[in-house]
Structure 1
Amino acid sequence: EGNDFMSLIIGCMLTGTALAVVFLNNGSTGGTDIIAAVVNKYYNVSLGKGLIMVDLVIIGSCLAIDSFGLFPQRCQMVVFGLCTMVIECTMLDYVMNVQRQSVQFMIFSKEYKKIAEAITRKTDHTLTILDGHGWYTGKEMKVICLLAKKRESVLIFRLIKTIDPRAFVSQSSVIGVYGEGFDQIKVKVKKHESAQSPTPEPLPRREGSDMQGSSNE
């Protein structure tokens, strides 16, 4: 009480988190976030940055209005508005990135078939089977390569431990995953480049094989 800036920080953290929850569930508050969502859909601009660009114009326009000579007070309001915008949008992007963060699993196990079947049955992800060769043992082995959301890690580890407690698992964070089931590629292709690039011939499909994200190979 009596500390306006502390109230601003706490309030912006709450509203930024709430906005992230709304966007994660494909919703909208009906305000300027609609513009940010449209920009984010077609361009590689985060929702927080989109909101900052829109709100910067709205808040900055207050300086152009000097009603009754209240310019100093209006400057203070603008500064508070800018702080609100930055904290709220930063919190929005942070929560969105945490929820959408992806990880890569490399699973080494003799029970790879059972583990693969359990993962594909319990989650919406498929996976890729890689051929491996143990240097120390000299034996051939199969390696499961899987990309999933970070929030699914506990479920995947539980499935692996239930089937093969001695399995060797490597988990690593990835910067971005694009394609079916993940984020869309939002890079524009120039018309002359797309016209000159040859159309790739479809590969012969083998039974039981797919591509990563929707494939087993």
Structure 2
Amino acid sequence: MKTIVKEYLLITVGIALVALGLYFFLIPNDLAVGGVSGLAIVINQYLPGLTIGSLMFVLNIILFVVGFMFIGSSFGVRTMYASFGLSGMVWVLEKLCPMSGTITNDIFLELIFGILIGAVGMGMVFNENASTGGTDIIAKMLNKYFHLEIGKSLLIADFFVTILAGVAFGPKIGMYALLGVIINGFVVDAVIAGMNIYKKVEVVSSKGEDIKRFIIEDLDRGATLYTAKGAYTNEDKEIITTVLGKKQFIKLKNYIKEIDKKAFIMTYNVHETLGEGFTDIDE
């Protein structure tokens, strides 16, 4: 139960960041950087009586219905929560903090801030095995019926939205929107990678038994043992290998520093770890 609450809390924080980036930076500049939010910005240009938040809500309902008809019920509760939660947050911001114009009058600066804030939020949502819906559904349809890769399908869907932005707001805005789509993809990948980095640690020490006990009992992690031979001494040595989170690695390093200052430690960044004690291999 605690894990589920944590997951939905992270999703909520993520969609809140996406909503803030959209509402305060992208929407006032008509920067339709793909997705349902971008499509809503374009439609709002022709139907100003409808708010961006309400348009996102309606578009998500339409896309979910189409998705259920052509793909099946493969979206999941988390994606529905994230997509409709994002629409609701934008709608609430429109009611509580109406924007009369841009913050800085610098479209490039606001594009960068909007994308960075939103991409961090999207990375958090994707990392919890959810998505903000919208063009993800279109991408899945293109994947199913035209056998295109999901990444390429998503890029095509978002590119189509930026073309509409160029038609609605002019080529300058359209080109900025396309630039935003490209930057967003790189930043989202970087955020997800950063949130999932673990440390693979290899230790050679005369205090091997104490270190193994600390890893298993204090850090609650497993370890693998290898036997190697030193090239200089020609002696057999035991290598302790384990995978740890960043905080756990700091604890292990401090512990080894206390008991064996001559220990040899090697570390590697591991960008994805699946299996017992880490991410479920089926996710």
TM-score category by the smaller chain?
Answer: 0.5 to 0.7
Alignment partner of 1:60 out of 163, 180, 199: 163
Q: What is the match of residue 121 of structure 2?
A: 18
Structure 1 runs not aligned, ≥5 long: 40-44, 187-217
**What displacement does 1:61 show?**
4.6
Tell me how far apart the structure 2 counterparts of residues 36 and 155 of structure 1 sit (CA, whole Å): 43
Read off the aligned partner of 1:4 and give its amino acid letter.
I
Q: What is the match of residue 161 of structure 1?
A: 257
**What displacement does 1:105 show?**
1.6
Tell me how far apart the structure 1 counterparts of residues 216 and 153 of structure 2 sit (CA, whole Å): 36
8 Å Cα contact 1:51/1:89 also seen in 2: no
Q: Look up the SS of the partner of 1:15 in the other structure.
A: helix
Q: Over aligned residues, Cα RMSD in angstroms? A: 3.6
Tell me how far apart the structure 1 counterparts of residues 118 and 261 of structure 2 sit (CA, whole Å): 43
**Which structure features the higher share of helix residues?**
2
Q: Look up the SS of the partner of 1:153 in the other structure.
A: helix
Read off the aligned partner of 1:14 and give its amino acid letter.
I
Q: What is the match of residue 143 of structure 1?
A: 239
Tell me how far apart the structure 2 counterparts of residues 55 and 26 of structure 1 sit (CA, whole Å): 21
Q: Look up the SS of the partner of 1:135 in the other structure.
A: coil
Instruction: Describe the superposition over 1:117-149 as per-residue Cα deviations: whole angstroms up to 9, x where unpaired.
Output: 222334453221011223333432211122344
Q: What is the match of residue 108 of structure 2?
A: 5
Say if 2:214 is the partner of 1:118: yes
Q: What is the match of residue 196 of structure 2?
A: 100
Q: What is the match of residue 19 of structure 2?
A: none
**What displacement does 1:163 show?**
4.0
Say if 2:132 is the partner of 1:29: yes
Read off the aligned partner of 2:200 and give its amino acid letter.
Q
Tell me how far apart the structure 2 counterparts of residues 135 and 2 of structure 1 sit (CA, whole Å): 65
Q: Look up the SS of the partner of 2:124 in the other structure.
A: helix
Count of residues in Structure 1 that have an aligned counterpart in Structure 2? 173
**What displacement does 1:26 show?**
4.0
Tell me how far apart the structure 2 counterparts of residues 93 and 120 of structure 1 sit (CA, whole Å): 32
8 Å Cα contact 1:130/1:142 also seen in 2: yes
Q: Percent identical across equivalent pairs?
A: 25
Q: How does the TM-score come out when normalised to structure 1?
A: 0.62
CA 1:168–1:84: 2 relative to 1, 3 Å: same
Instruction: Describe the superposition over 1:16-59 as per-residue Cα deviations: whole angstroms up to 9, x where unpaired.
Output: 112112233444434445677998xxxxx898x77534322333
CA 1:107–1:89: 2 relative to 1, 3 Å: same
Alignment partner of 1:133 out of 219, 226, 229: 229
8 Å Cα contact 1:46/1:93 also seen in 2: no
CA 1:26–1:185: 2 relative to 1, 3 Å: closer
CA 1:129–1:36: 2 relative to 1, 3 Å: farther
Read off the aligned partner of 2:127 and give its amino acid letter.
L
Q: Look up the SS of the partner of 1:141 in the other structure.
A: strand
Tell me how far apart the structure 2 counterparts of residues 162 and 50 of structure 1 sit (CA, whole Å): 53
Q: How does the TM-score come out when normalised to structure 2?
A: 0.49
CA 1:24–1:170: 2 relative to 1, 3 Å: same
**What displacement does 1:184 show?**
5.1
Q: What is the match of residue 177 of structure 2?
A: 81
8 Å Cα contact 2:163/2:174 also seen in 1: yes
Tell me how far apart the structure 2 counterparts of residues 171 and 37 of structure 1 sit (CA, whole Å): 38
Tell me how far apart the structure 2 counterparts of residues 127 and 35 of structure 1 sit (CA, whole Å): 44
